[in-house]
Amino acid sequence: MADTGKTATAIVTGAGRGIGAAIAADLAHRGYHVVVNYRRDADAAAAVVAGIHRSGGSAVALASDVTDPDDVASMVATVLADRGRIDALVVNANTAAPTFAPLSDLTWAAFAAKMTGELAGAFHITQQVVAVMRAQGEGRLVYLGSTAADYVGAGRLAHGTAKAALTTFARHVAAETARDGISVLTVAPGAVRTEATAAVLDANREKVLADNSVLHRVLEPADVAAAVGLALDPALRPATGTVLRVDAGWSVLAGGPTA
Ligand SMILES: NC(=O)c1ccc[n+]([C@@H]2O[C@H](COP(=O)([O-])OP(=O)(O)OC[C@H]3O[C@@H](n4cnc5c(N)ncnc54)[C@H](OP(=O)(O)O)[C@@H]3O)[C@@H](O)[C@H]2O)c1
């Protein structure tokens, strides 16, 4: 698709693979010009952009470590120079891989790294993009939370605490921006098949998840991407500050926070 400068622009952080790549493809399909952000894997991001172009969409890859405020400033400046505005931001980058360990085995360094990485990946880009959206008088933010924020269980202390903090951060951003035309939603997936979960999604776990899913299978990145696309719809602005759980029915089929 030719870059006319008239289509809405969305930044998707960490869109080189996994859920972010699927979100980028979905948003391009919905007509957004998509900024495919990545940290190191330029080839993967280029492949996502090429796929979008092959489907008739508009996208560009931009490297930026979203935990670094200077890197974020550079990316935001590039997007503004190219597009003049930022309509949507999806905070997705997996900036701190989950540490799965019980409290007794968890070091403070590992816990702090998870908390800092998760929140740095949201803080800097939110602060800078909200300033742009406030000046525009509109904008839409979606954060990738997790059902781990609600489910306690073996080894989920660090990851769950970080995702709960991210969800609370998003609610505060929603409150501070609600009167500026900006809406904020958190999309909270259950377990999704990506590189990040390859080690924990063994055959037994997949069967448990499939048996407790309305889809009769494990969630795929495209399932989450579709929900993010809907969450960015301006029609959902009245839902600002809320969480859209995408767990294929796990919470009602398996039940309970210790499931
Ligand atoms: N997978 C699940 O089951 C699941 C469930 C619930 C929620 N989530 C959430 O969904 C999001 C995506 O997860 P995923 O499984 O798709 O992750 P993933 O497969 O590990 O993909 C990670 C992506 O994030 C990028 N990234 C990492 N650190 C970055 C940084 N500092 N700056 C910019 N980009 C960075 C990577 O880029 P490079 O390769 O270039 O480094 C890569 O494109 C995460 O927030 C995760 O917590 C996942």
User: Is residue 253 a part of any domain in this protein?
Assistant: no
pLDDT tens column, 222-239: 999 999 999 999 999 999
Distance from residue 18's CA to the centre of ligand 1 (Å): 7
Separation of alpha carbons 94 and 117, rounded Å: 9
- Considering the domain boundaries, does residue 201 fall inside one? no
Residue 241 in any domain: the answer is: yes
Residue 228 domain-assigned (yes or no): yes
Tell whether 199 is covered by a domain.
Answer: no
Q: What pLDDT is recorded for position 125? A: 98
* Rounded Cα distance, 253 and 246, in Å: 13
What one-character-per-residue DSSP string does 82-95 give? HHS---EEEE----
Give me the helices (H) in 86-156, please.
Answer: 108-136
The pLDDT value recorded for residue 258 is 60
Q: Residues 24-53: what's their mean pLDDT?
A: 98
- Of ligand 1's atoms, which has the minimum distance to the CA of residue 93? 24
- The pLDDT mean for the chain works out to 94
Distance CA 143, CA 185 (A): 6
Pocket test for ligand 1, best of 94, 144, 163 (most atoms within 8 A of CB): 94
Closest Cα to atom 47 of ligand 1:
94
List CB contacts of 71: < 8 A, sequence separation 6 or more: 64, 65
Query: In a mutational test of the pocket of ligand 1, which residue from 11, 13, 19, 146 has the highest number of ligand atoms less than 8 Å from its CB?
Result: 19
- Predicted local distance difference test score (pLDDT) of residue 154: 79
Which CATH number is 89's domain given?
3.40.50.720
pLDDT digits (tens, 9 = 90+) for 123-134: 999 999 999 999
Q: Is there a domain that residue 42 lies in?
A: yes
Q: Report residue 153 CA to chain centroid gap.
A: 23
Q: Which domain holds residue 124?
A: 9-192+220-247
pLDDT band for position 14 (cuts 50, 70, 90): very high
What average pLDDT does range 68-89 have in this prediction?
98
Give the tens place of pLDDT for each residue, 158-191.
999 999 999 999 999 999 999 999 999 999 999 9
